Amino acid sequence: MSDKKANILIRLWRWFRSPSRVAVGTIIVLSFIGGILSWVGFNYGLEQTNTEQFCSGCHTNDAYPEYLHSVHYQTRTGVGASCPDCHVPHEFGPKMWRKMVAAKEVYAHYMGLTDTIEKFNARRPHMAENEWARMKANDSKECRNCHKMDRMDFSQQKTVAQKMHKFAQENGKTCIDCHKGIAHNLPDMSKVAPGWLQGAEVEPAESKDKK
């Protein structure tokens, strides 16, 4: 090693050995490590709130049992959708906003506003309308993560489904316009605007009372 290179290394070593610079370097390294650990912990916690187990912790006697009897849980092929697939956006920004709203809902549960099936059903219309409005605003994006209209083979659908899906495509309708109550019992719909596609020239589906 040449004397010139040796002198450069010595000067660098002396520079880094300065107490003030050691302190600054230590703070930078520890901050970097702390940032990584915080990010990992944050993402781990976020993912833990995106599980059926977490959701069913509060919804044991209301929404969760309804979901277990829906086509999104029990399917012919075994491919289903879990709670966060429908209720939590995939993108980071919308996901964080939804988590903040959910924090208010968890608070309401533990404050006794929705902790019984009777209280939950009393607030069901309000909660349902909020969720319908959210899905309407984002063009039912969570539905479309799995159900892509442009990939549907209408010829394999029932006649009524063919007509309604074609009508939806041509008139800018979105999934939630018709598919309210697909996984949960509907609230009192007497004051809710019709969700079916009027003008599609289809026979109305036979109504079934959900218990």
- Give binding residues for heme as ranges: 55, 58, 83, 86-87, 105, 143, 146-147, 175, 178-179, 184
CA distance 163 to 115: 42
SS (H, E, C) the chain: CCHHHHHHHHHHHHHHHCHHHHHHHHHHHHHHHHHHHHHHHHHHHHHHCCCHHHHHCCCCCCHHHHHHCCCCCCCCCCCCCCHHHHHCCCCHHHHHHHHHHHHHHHHHHHCCCCCCHHHHHHHHHHHHHHHHHHHHHCCCHHHHCCCCHHHCCHHHCCHHHHHHHHHHHHHCCCHHHHCCCCCCCCCCCCCCCCCCCCCCCCCCCCCCCCC
Q: Which residue has the tokens 């002198």?
A: 7
- The torsion of the CA quartet 24, 26, 27, 33, rounded to 10 degrees, works out to 150
Annotated binding site: 55, 58, 83, 86-87, 105, 143, 146-147, 175, 178-179, 184
Tokens of 38: 């915080």
